[in-house]
Structure 1
């Protein structure tokens, strides 16, 4: 997979298909997508110009945009966990920054 070759500060313009594993339950402003069943990628939407339905976990999506690697701060991880509906106990367990695959989508297609 092309994302495996990315280094921090690299980016890759791409379209790909993946399965949604999590959705922001506040307003659908981010999703997580499985990459080959091993890794997950956090997906946000360009300029917060659109959101997705909150009930699409398990659905397949086609994404178009830019992928990259980033370090997510503890504060941001806790915010995302809260938006995802995590308990206070789960949120409190987040104590270190995390390096992760990220993606800013400029287009999303929901497959049936």
Structure 2
């Protein structure tokens, strides 16, 4: 009789595990699968810091300091000459200027408004007037807008070695 009870308990336990496994499979199927287009070094999407959180890191960093990071943010602008830089919204009114490591890859010029995940080095720098004017020209700004740039500015920067663009 003891063995019969033990057998019944084992069967019930195995059956309950099977039901749980089926429920987990159904839940996994319901999760939306996000496809990414990859540029540069192959990276994975997990562990990316939200843009708003990254803004707090930037605000506490002095000029010249850097940290390795992975973040997800929305593209606000892209180089229209060849996709050699982009700016991302940090969701607090500021932006981060992203360049690509060793000028080794570019992103599509039509990704403005899309979410991206970038991996690399975040740092705070100061951009000269000439460089700001160059970026404004690449972004298609008017001559009048470019002429208004007269002072160097402290900027949040990122050197990306890999980018994932959400499709």
Q: TM-score range by the shorter chain?
A: over 0.9
Q: 1:11 aligns with which of 66, 84, 90?
A: 66
Which secondary structure does the structure 2 equivalent of 1:76 belong to? helix
Partner of 1:55: 110
Which secondary structure does the structure 1 equivalent of 2:136 belong to? helix
Separation in 2, partners of 1:5, 1:37: 14
- Equivalent positions of 1:1-112 (< 5 A) are 1-112=56-167
Higher Rg:
2
User: Which deviations, in whole Å up to 9, do the C-alpha atoms of 1:45-85 show, x marking residues without a partner?
Assistant: 00010000000000000000001111100000000000000
Root-mean-square deviation (Å):
0.8
More helix per residue? 2
More strand per residue? 1
How many aligned residue pairs are there? 112
Runs of at least 4 residues off by over 4 Å: none
Deviation for aligned residue 1:2: 2.1
Provide the TM-score with structure 2 as the length reference. 0.66
Q: Which runs of 5+ in 1 are unaligned?
A: none
Separation in 2, partners of 1:2, 1:96: 25
Separation in 2, partners of 1:18, 1:3: 14
Which secondary structure does the structure 1 equivalent of 2:58 belong to? helix
Q: Which runs of 5+ in 2 are unaligned?
A: 1-55
Provide the TM-score with structure 1 as the length reference. 0.97
